[in-house]
């Protein structure tokens, strides 16, 4: 069998089953009633045929006694032609045929009536003709199936009408029943499909009127609730892991990998619209001394304070990251002019004038040396820009702690600034 064969729906299967059951039930009931009616009509027809035979008996009695064939034929024809009789014969005491009447055939319908009569009625009916208690002859009658045929035809019409009505009623009732079964199942299937394909776990199955289907929907909703909670937990865990993978756990700043990825995108965007980008490389001037003198907890406090102060001096779209140890990097994108980078570097250096509180009610002063590299003058790739800014930072540190230095391009002279 082909795997692509269309499968029947539950609605079509149940509807077809209801229709078949209804038609079979109506057909059996109709056929049974028709058979019972035929049996009853057969008894009635045979009884009526005996009454007809008695009536003919009384009428032709005198003609039989006087052996008057013409009178017997006339009397026989007069009665038989108006009754359900196909053939009537009168015999004398010696068994000689005295009179005979046969209903004329009028076509196919007449032959069918005779066949029905032969099949269902007692054939033939024979009664003696009595006069003063003595037999003077006999009469033989063959019944006619006209009334039986009419009954059978009316029964067939009744069966067809009942079948049509039962089909309509079964269709109407099955629709009402199917709506109570298939509609809740379709809703459940829709929600299940959305949960599987779209991971839409916040949808719920509406309540159903049928208890079993309502219980199924309630259990499915409970399962969706658990899956939604588990999905939220996983998303939260993933977000936490993603944040931990791209951020420094101590300062909460992005790490080197995050900074380099952001720098790559900024350079691509700047190359398309012909803009400038600046990278600032920051390094603490006294961090090792603070660590050695006050301990690692004090060093951590200094790093957190530096991160907060640097972040406070930047524009909304700028980025500061901790590269490692006491090294930080700042991304300024877009940069309208080189003086903007120098101005921000001055603000960062000035923010370090305030003492940094340490654990144990101690304060310490530190400063930052900053190297500045600008795209495209000092490099066109993230690596060259970071190396240029790093080199400028070391040059600023050698010249004077707490100063800034702009990287050297191929021709211009380096710009060195110190805080007085």
Residues 242 and 287 in one domain: no
Residues 277 and 375 in one domain: yes
In whole angstroms, give the CA distance from residue 58 to residue 101: 17
Residues 241 and 269 in one domain: no
Work out how many domains the chain is built from and give that number. 3
Q: What is the pLDDT of residue 269?
A: 93
Q: Is 42 inside any structural domain?
A: yes
Q: Is 156 inside any structural domain?
A: yes
Is the pLDDT score of 397 beyond 60? yes
The CA–CA distances, whole Å, from 96 to 56, 71, 125, 131 equal: 17, 16, 17, 18
Residues 6+ apart with CB under 8 A from 395: 371, 405, 414, 416
Is the pLDDT score of 86 beyond 80? no
Burial degree of 415 (CB within 10 A; 0-12, 13-18, 19+): middle
CATH code (residue 121): 3.30.450.20
> Which contacts (CB < 8 Å, 24+ apart) does range 6-14 have?
9/182, 10/181, 10/182, 10/185, 11/178, 11/182, 14/174, 14/177, 14/178, 14/181, 14/182
Residues 410 and 264 in one domain: yes
Is the pLDDT score of 399 beyond 60? yes
Q: Is 189 inside any structural domain?
A: no
Q: Is 224 inside any structural domain?
A: yes
Residue 292, domain extent: 256-417
* 137, 164, 191 - which closes a domain: 164
Per the model's pLDDT, the better-predicted residue between 12 and 318 turns out to be: 318
The neighbour count for residue 376, using CB atoms within 10 Å, is 16
Q: Is 15 inside any structural domain?
A: yes
Residues 212 and 342 in one domain: no
Residues 267 and 413 in one domain: yes
Give the least confident one: 62-76, 111-125, 166-180, 252-266: 111-125
CATH code (residue 332): 3.30.70.270
Query: Any idea which residue has 């009931």 for tokens?
Result: 29
**pLDDT mean across residues, the chain:** 82
* 145, 164, 183 - which closes a domain: 164
Q: What is the pLDDT of residue 109?
A: 58
Residues 52 and 142 in one domain: yes
In whole angstroms, give the CA distance from residue 217 to residue 401: 71
Is the pTM higher than 0.75? no
Is the omega angle on the peptide bond into residue 334 within 30 degrees of 0, that is, cis? yes
Residues 293 and 336 in one domain: yes
Give per-residue pLDDT as tens, 205-223.
888 787 887 888 888 888 8
In whole angstroms, give the CA distance from residue 99 to residue 414: 151
In whole angstroms, give the CA distance from residue 115 to residue 386: 113
Q: Is 172 inside any structural domain?
A: no
CB 402 within 8 A of CB 349: yes
Residues 314 and 210 in one domain: no
Residues 112 and 224 in one domain: no
Q: Is 133 inside any structural domain?
A: yes
In whole angstroms, give the CA distance from residue 55 to residue 65: 16
Give the residue numbers annotated as catalytic, written as ranges: 326
* 183, 211, 246 - which closes a domain: 246
Per the model's pLDDT, the better-predicted residue between 1 and 76 turns out to be: 76
Give per-residue pLDDT as tens, 29-60.
777 877 777 777 777 777 777 888 888 888 88
Q: Is 392 inside any structural domain?
A: yes
Give per-residue pLDDT as tens, 230-265.
888 888 888 888 888 889 889 999 999 999 999 999
Per the model's pLDDT, the better-predicted residue between 143 and 338 turns out to be: 338
Q: What is the pLDDT of residue 175?
A: 74
Closest CA to 403 of 346, 355, 365: 346
Indicate the helix (H) or strand (E) that contains 201: none
Alpha helix (H) residue ranges in 210-317: 211-246, 256-273, 287-294, 296-312
Please compute Rg for the chain using Cα positions.
Answer: 56
| Averaged pLDDT for residues 70-88 | 81
Residues 105 and 221 in one domain: no
Residues 319 and 358 in one domain: yes
């Amino acid at each position: 069998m082909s795997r692509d064969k269309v499968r029947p729906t539950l609605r079509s299967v149940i509807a077809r089953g209801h229709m078949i059951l209804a038609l079979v039930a109506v057909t059996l009931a109709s056929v049974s009633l028709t058979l019972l009616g035929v049996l009853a009509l057969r008894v009635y027809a045979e009884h009526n045929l005996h009454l007809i035979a008695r009536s003919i008996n009384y009428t032709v009695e005198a003609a039989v006694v006087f052996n008057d064939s013409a009178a017997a034929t006339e009397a026989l024809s007069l009665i038989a032609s108006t009754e359900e009789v196909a053939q009537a014969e009168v015999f004398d005491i010696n068994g000689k045929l005295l009179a005979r009447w046969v209903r004329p055939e009028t076509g196919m319908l007449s032959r069918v009536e005779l066949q029905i009569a032969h099949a269902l009625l007692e054939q033939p009916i024979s009664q003696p003709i009595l006069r003063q208690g003595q037999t003077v002859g006999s009469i033989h009658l063959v019944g006619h199936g006209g009334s039986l045929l009419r009954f059978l035809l009316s029964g067939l019409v009744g069966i067809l009408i009942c079948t049509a009505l039962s089909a309509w009623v079964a269709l109407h009732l099955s629709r009402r029943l199917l709506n109570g079964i298939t509609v809740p199942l379709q809703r459940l299937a829709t929600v299940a499909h959305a949960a599987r394909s779209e991971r839409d776990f916040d949808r719920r199955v509406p309540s159903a009127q049928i208890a079993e289907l309502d219980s199924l929907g309630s259990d499915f909703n409970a399962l969706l609730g658990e899956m939604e909670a588990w999905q939220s937990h996983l998303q939260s865990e993933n977000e936490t892991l993603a944040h931990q993978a791209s951020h420094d756990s101590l300062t909460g700043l992005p790490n080197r990998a995050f900074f380099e990825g952001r720098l790559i995108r900024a350079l691509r965007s700047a190359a398309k619209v012909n803009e400038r980008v600046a990278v600032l490389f920051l390094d603490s001037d006294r961090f090792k001394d603070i660590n050695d003198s006050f301990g690692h907890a004090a060093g951590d406090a200094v790093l957190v304070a530096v991160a907060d102060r640097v972040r406070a001096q930047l524009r909304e779209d700028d980025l500061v990251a901790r590269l490692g140890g006491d090294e930080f990097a700042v991304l300024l994108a877009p940069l309208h002019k080189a003086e903007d980078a120098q101005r921000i570097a001055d603000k960062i250096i000035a923010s370090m004038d305030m003492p940094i509180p340490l654990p144990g009610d101690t304060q310490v002063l530190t400063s930052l040396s900053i190297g500045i590299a600008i795209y495209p003058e000092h490099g066109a790739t993230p690596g060259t820009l970071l190396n240029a800014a790093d080199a400028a930072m070391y040059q600023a540190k050698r010249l004077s702690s707490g100063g800034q230095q702009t990287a050297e391009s191929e021709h211009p002279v380096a710009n060195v600034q110190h805080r007085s």
